[in-house]
Structure 1
Amino acid sequence: MTRRQIRENLYKMLFQVEFHDKESLRTQIEIYLEDLEMADEKDKRELRDKFNELVENLEDIDAKIEEKANGWTINRIAKSELTILRLGVYELLYVEDVPNKVAINEAVELAKAYGADKASGFINGILASVVKEVSE
């Protein structure tokens, strides 16, 4: 799988966080990975590892999103956009082999595919704010 395919599948897995408790979420993720025909075992392991790391850091990621979203709480952000932001912030803060510009660009592309009409600008602004803070 390409990095983009990994990222898109991770987005789909992460989207489920809002709809399942911890126990059923693990079951749903395993079902998702079992049904993922284009992924080999290495890809599935990478997806599982990244998903688990992301979920483990979700509280910090959400806090960073709220900090940068200027008056928007996590509960006010549409689930699709929230999921994209979570993935983007995760890549910016926890994944060292993804350049910041790539992480932002990929998040914007996901927003164009899965978000509302103006979601890409909203996501770009928040992620750019995270990058600015990290760079300082």
Structure 2
Amino acid sequence: MARSTARKRALNTLYEADEKGQDILSLLAERIAEPGAQTPLPDYAIEIVRGVADHRRDIDRTLNDHSTGWKVRRMGVVDRNILRIAVWEILFNDDVPDKVAIDEALALAKTLCDDDSPAFIHGLLSAVCSDREAVLSALAQAEEPATDVPAEAVDEGVGVDADMDGESE
């Protein structure tokens, strides 16, 4: 099955989870177990949905940082999920050239979104691509725990003024 079709199927799953307010991975598990009237999800669609779910915070932060005037939560549901797929491909899937990720996102936007969406999506994805190395560097640094904070504190979200027992002073 063509990757274009897989992207559309991934978009359908992400859209549904977004609209329902459902956890992406739980919906994906349902779609894998019970495809319903549709054919089973292609492997690449599953890879996209898992990738977006695993990196959603980083993807949304990247979109918010590069978007002027529109935060992710204010974007149309279809637009934001097209963008999430493309940003996942740009940042986390080295098998897809950036230009292909952008072109595929634009193809989806032209058929599924309003007339202004393709230009917005193109501009935002171009900005992410131009800043790709800086974004990846910032994401890598954000994943490294601070050296003066115990790892348990980072995992539990405890502040830096917590002692070794996890209690705040």
TM-score (norm 1): 0.85
Task: Tell me the equivalent position of 1:55.
Answer: 53
- Choose between structure 1 and 2: higher helix proportion: 1
**Structure 1's 92 and 26: CA in aligned 2 closer, same or farther, altered over 3 A?**
closer
Listed one character per residue, the Cα deviations across residues 39-78 of structure 1 (whole Å, up to 9, x for unaligned) are 47xx3x4432331121111010000011111121112111
2:130 equivalent among 123, 128, 132: 132
Mapping for residues 14-93 of structure 1, pairs under 5 Å: 14-18=14-18, 19-22=20-23, 25-33=24-32, 34-35=35-36, 36-37=38-39, 39=40, 43=42, 45-93=43-91
Q: Which runs of 4+ in 1 moved over 6 A?
A: none
CA RMSD of aligned residues (A): 1.9
Letter in 2 for 1:93: L
Secondary structure of 2:69's counterpart equals coil
Max Rg structure: 2
Task: Tell me the equivalent position of 1:122.
Answer: 120
Structure 2 residue runs of 5 or longer lacking an equivalent are 135-169
Contact 2:63 2:124 in 1 (8 A): yes
Partners of 2:59 and 2:131 in 1: CA distance: 14
Task: Tell me the equivalent position of 2:10.
Answer: 10
Contact 2:79 2:117 in 1 (8 A): yes
Shift of 1:135: 5.6
**Structure 1's 29 and 76: CA in aligned 2 closer, same or farther, altered over 3 A?**
same
- Between 1:47-56 and 1:73-82, the stretch displaced more is 47-56
Secondary structure of 2:131's counterpart equals helix
Partners of 1:116 and 1:11 in 2: CA distance: 16
- Between 1:8-17 and 1:117-126, the stretch displaced more is 8-17
Letter in 2 for 1:60: D
Shift of 1:104: 0.3
Percent identity (aligned): 26
Partners of 2:15 and 2:115 in 1: CA distance: 19
Higher RCO structure (Cα 8 Å, ≥6 apart): 1
